[in-house]
Amino acid sequence: MKRRLFSTLRQLQHENPLGLPRSGAPPQVPRMQRGLPQKRNIKDVKKIVAVSSAKGGVGKSTIAVNLALSFARSGYKAGILDTDIFGPSIPTLLNLSGEPRLSSNNQLIPLSNYGLKSMSMGYLIPESSPVAWRGLMVMKALQQLLHEVAWDGLDILILDMPPGTGDVQLTITQQLHLDGAVIVSTPQDLSLKDAVKGVELFRKVDTKLLGLVCNMSGFRCPGCGGMHNIFGDMGKIRDMCGKYDLKLLGEIPLHANICEDADRGMPTVVAEPGGERAKVFGGIAEEVGRLVGLEK
């Protein structure tokens, strides 16, 4: 059987949960002192943008991967880091699998598809295996994913954040120099209420909010051509953006192709490069790039 970096034995190594060969001191989870930990950059990455939702199931990962692919298709050196330790989605969305190789200095080499570099916990564990870890192990693994990947010169890195406002979100926002964050929500009240929590979290840690993407904004009937608000009226989204001074970056309609293309590992931007939905993603990426001062 092929040896995996993530072996049963290595699961027990709290200082090195990903089982990477050590060439120096491991990244440390900063101890709480007076004030917050000092923020760091990710080596060889110019811009970092977090894509977040406090509610699961709103299509955040689909939005994140299509934004990252839009940057890549625009000529930028782009990458996406899946920071969801327990439920990684990027391997499926990019149709990638297999264990990453190691660089000469024992860093993980990203897996690539469609011109986009990626790293995910999903590459390091068998697809059907759960990550049954407590907080310390999760934080150690997160530190390794953040600082032990050989990105080799990216213009922009998209962080696909896990849902919620817990340890992982706090660690990332308090320890990384983020150039901005994008909130993803549907028009449904349940989603919007949690989206507000995400907005408040980023503002508490002084992270620039670039705006909000409304996913599943409406369904256009192929028969009558009418637009149906399956998850609620867009007026709720606009009211929220006005109340919390958020820019509405774009609206992604509810369409079966988006789901089907994602499931087969060919996101919308790749599957329909000249289509209307791909153009919407491209427009959102263009605006995000402008807001963070992205340059080629």
Tens-digit pLDDT profile for residues 191-202: 999 999 999 999
Smallest Cα–Cα separation from 87: which of 29, 158, 161, 6? Answer: 161
Give the pLDDT confidence score for residue 130 in this predicted structure: 80
Q: d(Cα 101, Cα 86) in Å, to the nearest integer?
A: 22
Q: Note whether residue 7 is domain-resident.
A: no
Smallest Cα–Cα separation from 90: which of 63, 130, 119, 58? Answer: 119
Q: d(Cα 132, Cα 87) in Å, to the nearest integer?
A: 11
Structure token digits, residue 119: 């790293």
Give the pLDDT confidence score for residue 219 in this predicted structure: 65
For residue 213, give its domain range: 40-290
Q: Note whether residue 186 is domain-resident.
A: yes
Alpha carbon 229 to its chain's center: 26
Give the pLDDT confidence score for residue 24 in this predicted structure: 62
Q: Note whether residue 260 is domain-resident.
A: yes
Q: Which of 30-39, 155-164, 214-223, 257-266 has the lowest mean pLDDT?
A: 30-39
The model's pTM: 0.87
pLDDT at 160 over 90: yes
Nearest-5° angle of CA 242, CA 243, CA 247?
40
Give the pLDDT confidence score for residue 217 in this predicted structure: 78
Residues forming beta bridges with residue 215, ordered by sequence position? 252
Q: Note whether residue 9 is domain-resident.
A: no
pLDDT at 22 over 80: no
Q: Which residues contact 77 (CB under 8 A, 6 or more apart)?
A: 117, 153, 154, 155, 156
pLDDT at 99 over 70: yes
Q: Note whether residue 33 is domain-resident.
A: no
User: Residue 12 — pLDDT band, cuts 50, 70, 90?
Assistant: very low
Q: Note whether residue 23 is domain-resident.
A: no
Burial per residue of 243-281, b for 16 or more beta-carbon CB atoms within 10 angstroms, e otherwise: eeebeebbbbbbbeebeebbeebbbbbbbbeeeebbebb
Q: What is the mean pLDDT of the chain?
A: 87
pLDDT at 48 over 50: yes
CATH assignment of the domain containing 54: 3.40.50.300
Q: Note whether residue 93 is domain-resident.
A: yes
Q: d(Cα 233, Cα 58) in Å, to the nearest integer?
A: 16
Domain count, the chain: 1
Q: Note whether residue 269 is domain-resident.
A: yes
Q: Which of 1-15, 39-53, 114-128, 269-283 has the lowest mean pLDDT?
A: 1-15
